[in-house]
A and B are shown apart, each in its own frame.
Chain A
Amino acid sequence: MDSFSLPVARADRPKSPPDTPPPSPAHARPPQDQPSLPGAEKDAAGLPDLLLEVDNVSVDLGSGSSRSRILNRVSLQIRRGQTVGLVGESGSGKSTLAKTLIGDLVPTSGAIRFDGRETKDLKRAGLRRLRRKIQLIPQDPYSSLNPRRTIGQTLAEALDPLGANPRRHAADIAGWLEKVMLPAEAAHRYPHEFSGGQRQRIAIARALAVQPELIIADEITSALDVTTQADILNLLTDLRRDLNMTMLFISHNLAVVRHISDEVAVLYRGDLVESGGIETVYSSPSHPYTRRLLDSVPGGPGFDIEADVNGAPPAAEASEGDAS
Chain B
Amino acid sequence: MAENTAQPRRFRWSAGLVLGLFLIGGMIVTAVVAPLFLADAAETLTPDTRQGPSAEHLMGTDDFGRDILARSLVATRLTLIMSVSATVIAVIGGLALGAGVWLAPRRVREVALRLIEAAVAYPSLILALIIAAILGPGSVTAVIAIGLAGIPGFARLTANMAASVSHRNFVGTARLLGVPTPLLAVRHLLPNMAEPILVMATSSFALSLLEISSLSFVGLGVQSPEYDFGRLLNEGLVSIYSQPLQVVVPSIMLVVSGLGAMLIGDGLASAADPRGGRRFLGKRLPARRPVSASPAPDALLEVDNLTVTAPNGKELVKAISFSIKSGEIVGLVGESGSGKSMTAMTVAGLLAEGVTATAHTLRLDGLDLLARNDPKVLASSIGLVFQDPGTTFNPALRMGPQLTEVQRVHLRRNRKQADQEMVMALAEMSIRDPELRMSQHPHQLSGGMLQRAVIASSTVAEPKLLIADEPTTALDVTVQAEVLRKFRKVNRERGTALLFISHDIGVVQELCDQVLVMHDGQILERLSGRDLQAGHATHPYTRSLLAATPSMIGPRAALAGARSQPTAGNGMTESDQ
Contacts and interface: CB of A to CB of B under 8 A. Distances in A.
A131 B176 CA distance: 6
Contacts of A181: 563
Contacts, number: 232
Interface residues of B, number: 76
Given A293-B477, A300-B553, A146 B533 contact: no
Interface in A267-324: 282, 292-301, 303, 305-309, 314-317, 319-324
A56 interface: no
Nearest to A146: B170
Nearest to B441: A324
A300 B552 contact: yes
B378 interface: no
B543 to A, nearest CB: 12
Interface string B469-506: 00000001111111011101100110000000001111
Interface in A63-114: 89-90, 102, 104
A258 B561 contact: no
A226 interface: yes
Which of A134, A231, A253, A298 is the most central at the interface, judged by chain B CB atoms within 10 Å of its CB? A298
A33 B223 CA distance: 82
Given A90-B476, A144-B170, A293-B477, A320 B448 contact: yes
Contact of A231 (B446, B478, B561): B561
Given A297-B506, A308-B488, A323-B446, A256 B550 contact: yes
A316 B448 contact: yes
A252 B444 contact: no
A317 B449 CA distance: 9
A320 B552 contact: no
Given A131-B178, A147-B192, A298 B548 contact: no
A232 B550 CA distance: 12
B187 interface: yes
Contacts of B545: 226-227
B443 interface: yes
A104 B511 CA distance: 42
Contact of A299 (B449, B493, B506): B506
A136 interface: yes
Interface string A234-256: 10010000000000000011111
Interface stretch (A12-20, A154-162, A169-177): A154-162
Interface residues on A, range: 35 or more
A148 B561 contact: no
A148 B191 contact: yes
Contact of B562 (A143, A227, A314): A227
Given A161-B177, A316-B482, A227 B548 contact: yes
A192 B553 CA distance: 38
Which of B8, B335, B446 is the most central at the interface, judged by chain A CB atoms within 10 Å of its CB? B446
Interface of A: 35, 89-90, 102, 104, 128, 131-132, 134-136, 138, 140, 143-150, 154, 157-158, 161-162, 164, 181, 188, 190, 192, 197, 203, 206, 210, 225-234, 237, 252-256, 258-259, 282, 292-301, 303, 305-309, 314-317, 319-324
The 8 closest A-B pairs by CB, nearest first: A299-B506, A231-B561, A230-B559, A227-B562, A230-B548, A89-B476, A296-B481, A259-B550
Given A161-B183, A305-B488, 4 more contacts: A225-B336, A226-B335, A230-B549, A299-B551
16 contacts: A143-B170, A145-B170, A148-B194, A157-B174, A157-B187, A197-B562, A225-B562, A226-B504, A227-B560, A230-B549, A231-B562, A237-B558, A297-B506, A299-B506, A299-B549, A303-B510
